Structure 1
Amino acid sequence: MAAAGSRETPVCAGDRLGTTDLYEAGEGVYVRDGFLFAGIVGLQHIEQPAGRGAKPVLGVVPRGIQPLVPKPGDLVTVKISRVAQTAAMALVLCVGRQALSTEFKGVIRQQDVRATEIDRVVMYDCFRPGDIVRAEVVSLGDARSYYLSTAKNELGVVYARSAAAGVPLVPTGWVTMMCPETRTVEKRKVARLGAAGDEGR
């Protein structure tokens, strides 16, 4: 329940919500490189502090989800469920900032991961089970399953956890992320923030 003086905005997992110099992280939020990100689908909840000089607490709370069906051209947020040699299977969490009331499955095929050097794509170097990915709906596949693409710079992994320590990975390039605790580098097809409109890599 939102407290007096708070405001609520729909958000999806992986959305960047604010900075640590302005807000304290609350429930459903994680911190990376001085920024606060949504860890779940729900409503952004900003609770104003009672004490003078204290920062507002920014959190995300689950909410009732609305009926919605993905369509070609939609940007979606998905969670990778399984990675095979030629494709990654995923569950669609939301369309834009709108959560789904029905489970839809998605498939990112090897040829849809990136726009260049398609024949050199190794699926396990791009996605891992549990990754949160921003993708575009290409077409309806079969039986409630959608073909998805990450072949643009702004599409790809937006949130992943370290295999070694279980903490959120930090992007270090277009194809790598690093564990901040162990300094282990893991390969991913990383979504480049602020890259909308760029040619797909």
Structure 2
Amino acid sequence: ISPPLYCIKLCSVEDCIPGTGVYLRHGYIYSSLAGYVLRKNEGEELPVISVVRETETQLLPDVGAIVTCKVETYKSFRPGDIVLAKVISLGDVQSNYLLTTAENELGVVVAHSESGAQMIPISWCEMQCPRTHAKEFRKVARVQPEYLQA
């Protein structure tokens, strides 16, 4: 048994046969859940690779872990939004900066609806168009006075 892993590439299909807790993609076997890697020779030429959980408790990734996730950015931001964010890493030549809006004070400050009107925040996760009264998901910033200009 190897240490916990978090939805990463395990090996090539040329090296192992996929078992439970894994999936195939582009000739490689990936874990489909957080757990421990098991390799078993079950009378086959290649070992069967599986990912299993030791217990039903939730395994959480550590800092620096590589994970696979589904990001629903349409519920937080839209093209053209003005966002207040914090720089958390200077990144590298290709990624430039890594930003976060994880704090309540960070998020969308200005957004425009499809009709072109500036939207009004109505909760921490929604804004509303004053013309059409249509509501849209946004991660709304609770802007602090020091960031406001008169």
TM-score w.r.t. length of structure 2? 0.47
Q: Which has the larger radius of gyration?
A: 2
